[in-house]
Amino acid sequence: MENILSLGLGIIIFSFVITSILIVPFIDFLYKIHLTRRKEGGKKKVLFDKLHDNKAGTPIGGGVLLITLVTLLFALIFPLISYLGVYIESAYALRWELIAIFFTFISFGALGLLDDIVKTFGKPRKGTFGAVFGLTKMQKFSLQFLFAFINSFILYSKLGIHILYVPILSKVFDLGVFYIPFSMFIIVFFTNAFNFTDGLDGLASGLLLIYLFSYVVIAASILDTPLFVFMSLWIGTIIAFLYFNVWPARIWLGDAGALSFGAMIALIGLLLGNVAVLFVIGGIFVIEAASSLIQILGWKILKKPIFPLAPIHHSFLAIGWEEPKIVARAWLSGIMLAIFGLWLATI
């Protein structure tokens, strides 16, 4: 445990330094190729435009840099760690665990990057509330479910994961082959929940940092070395990114980061075998997604909105809360949920 803790801290520092060196030139590159946020909406979306049009022009490719760095640094470091006195321990077949991790990380990132490119350079379409940019909902959800199915099949057939553990009740449910649609739902849900949350400067990336610190503790406690190294690298890059992502942001994750990172937090929870804890530690993401669903149901059933805007962070912005205050309070709530989730993971 002492060796793996030292390794993790060293990896975090290393990935932080590398990301810090590269991020400013990368931001300049994004400006140069004009991969920046566009104004969205139209006349019917006056409130949203009023709150967010000042963010137009901010680069949205941060996720591309982080995905690339974590992948390359993992390929560089992981083969060498056995020479540093750390025994490689994995709860699953190592090869297939790595395939599951990087297939999710890269495939959802590629989908998000495609959406970012279409949003930035493509022609707008007419939507319910004005101009709409990017891939259609059908295109995005179809590919998300396809990627989620491939990954769920790997989890079930190659890694042998098919049970659901419920803490407090101390109950274990064997889902059998139904684990595949179950895990597909979890992956797609958190993919979009994270994407919903990534709407204010520093909000999603700060909550992700809290999540990763929580789960790296769990990964270290069960000695899952590949997942521990992956998350340690990811933490270092997120810390460096967050410096430039806090209000007023100089760079955003974009859909490349949002879709990839949302899918990954679901996969980490599935790999570590405690989905209930995933919903607690990732509770703010769940609340953001739930508020969007409630808003949709309000329009469908009551023909009127439930909240001034959805997801819920937009409502706080609409009633006059300052953006940094919303983000800071979300982080504090995320910290308490993480503490509660870690407590659940220990009982």
pLDDT in tens, 314-323: 999 989 999 9
Query: Average pLDDT in the 125-140 region?
Result: 74
103-124 tens-digit pLDDT: 999 999 999 999 999 999 987 7
92 contacts: CB under 8 Å, gap ≥ 6: 159, 160, 161, 271
224-241 tens-digit pLDDT: 899 999 999 999 999 999
Whole-number pLDDT of residue 84: 73
The 3-state secondary structure of the chain, one letter per residue: CHHHHHHHHHHHHHHHHHHHHHHHHHHHHHHHHCCECCCCECHHHHHHHHHHHHHCCCECCHHHHHHHHHHHHHHHHHHHHHHHCCCCCCCCCHHHHHHHHHHHHHHHHHHHHHHHHHHHHCCCEEECCEEECCCCHHHHHHHHHHHHHHHHHHHHHHCCCCEEEECCCCEEEECHHHHHHHHHHHHHHHHHHHHHHCCCCCHHHHHHHHHHHHHHHHHHHCCCHHHHHHHHHHHHHHHHHHHHHCCCCCCCCHHHHHHHHHHHHHHHHHHCCCHHHHHHHCHHHHHHHHHHHHHHHHHHHHCCCCCCCCCHHHHHHHCCCCHHHHHHHHHHHHHHHHHHHHHHHHC
Q: Which residue has the higher pLDDT, 122 or 35?
A: 35
| Strongest mean pLDDT among 49-53, 231-235, 307-311 | 231-235
Which among 189, 210, 202 has a CA at the least distance from the CA of 292? 189
What is the percent of the chain with per-residue pLDDT over 70, rounded to a whole number?
A: 93
What are the CA-CA distances from residue 263 to residues 41, 81, 97, 118, 193 (Å)? 27, 27, 15, 21, 9
Query: Average pLDDT in the 81-90 region?
Result: 79
Q: Confirm if 109 and 260 have CB atoms less than 8 A apart.
A: yes
Residues 175-198 as b or e (16 or more Cβ within 10 Å = b): eeeebbebbbebbbbbbbbbbbbb
Q: What's the whole-number average pLDDT of the chain?
A: 91
Whole-number pLDDT of residue 48: 55
Whole-number pLDDT of residue 229: 94
Query: Average pLDDT in the 85-113 region?
Result: 93
Query: Average pLDDT in the 243-253 region?
Result: 96
What are the CA-CA distances from residue 171 to residues 49, 166, 219 (Å)? 48, 5, 21
Query: Average pLDDT in the 44-66 region?
Result: 76
Q: Confirm if 278 and 60 have CB atoms less than 8 A apart.
A: no
Question: Taking 90 as the threshold, does the pLDDT of residue 86 lie above it?
Answer: no
Query: Average pLDDT in the 146-154 region?
Result: 98
What is the percent of the chain with per-residue pLDDT over 90, rounded to a whole number?
A: 72
197-224 tens-digit pLDDT: 999 999 999 999 999 999 999 988 887 8
